Amino acid sequence: MRRTFKFSLLLVVLFATVSIVLLTATVYTYARLTAETLIAELKFDATGDRQYVAYLKTGDRCDERTFPVLGDQWRVDAEFLKWKYWALLLGLDSQYRLDRLEGRYTTAAEQNTAPTLAHDLGDATAVDIVALAGGLGSWNFLLDATYGSSTYQDIDVGSVYYVYRTTTGIITRAEPLPPQAHPQAGQTGAVPGPGYPHGDRPRGAKRGQATSGAYS
Note every long-range contact of 196-200, with CB atoms under 8 Å and residues 24 or more positions apart, other chains counting: 196/41, 196/43, 196/57, 196/61, 196/160, 197/160
Residues 121 and 196 in one domain: yes
> Are the CB atoms for 52 and 44 separated by under 8 Å?
yes
pLDDT digits (tens, 9 = 90+) for 74-89: 999 998 877 777 766 7
- pLDDT bin (cut points 50, 70, 90) of residue 204 is very low
Q: What is the pLDDT of residue 161?
A: 97
Residues 12 and 94 in one domain: no
Residues 21 and 84 in one domain: no
Provide mean pLDDT across the span 180-208: 42
Give the residue with greater pLDDT, 11 vs 38. 38
pLDDT digits (tens, 9 = 90+) for 122-178: 766 545 555 555 655 666 566 666 778 999 999 999 999 999 988 778 999 999 998
Provide mean pLDDT across the span 189-211: 38
Residues 23 and 93 in one domain: no
Residues 28 and 103 in one domain: no
> Are the CB atoms for 178 and 160 separated by under 8 Å?
no
Residue spans of beta strands (DSSP E) within the chain: 37-48, 51-58, 63-70, 73-83, 95-104, 118-120, 143-154, 159-165, 170-176, 209-214
Residues 116 and 25 in one domain: no
> Are the CB atoms for 120 and 99 separated by under 8 Å?
yes
Q: Is the pLDDT of residue 199 over 50?
A: no
Q: What is the pLDDT of residue 206?
A: 39
Within 8 A by CB and 6+ apart from 47, the residues are 53, 68, 185
Beta strands 95-104; 143-154: pairing state? unpaired
Residues 30 and 47 in one domain: no
Give the residue with greater pLDDT, 90 vs 214. 90
Residues 56 and 158 in one domain: yes
- Total domains in the chain come to 2
pLDDT digits (tens, 9 = 90+) for 6-25: 667 677 778 767 656 654 55
Q: What is the pLDDT of residue 193?
A: 36
Q: What is the pLDDT of residue 26?
A: 46
Residues 45 and 127 in one domain: yes
Range of the domain at 179: 36-214
Within 8 A by CB and 6+ apart from 169, the residues are 78, 80, 149, 151, 210, 212
User: What span, in angstroms and rounded, lies between the C-alpha atoms of 98 and 77?
Assistant: 6
Residues 96 and 8 in one domain: no
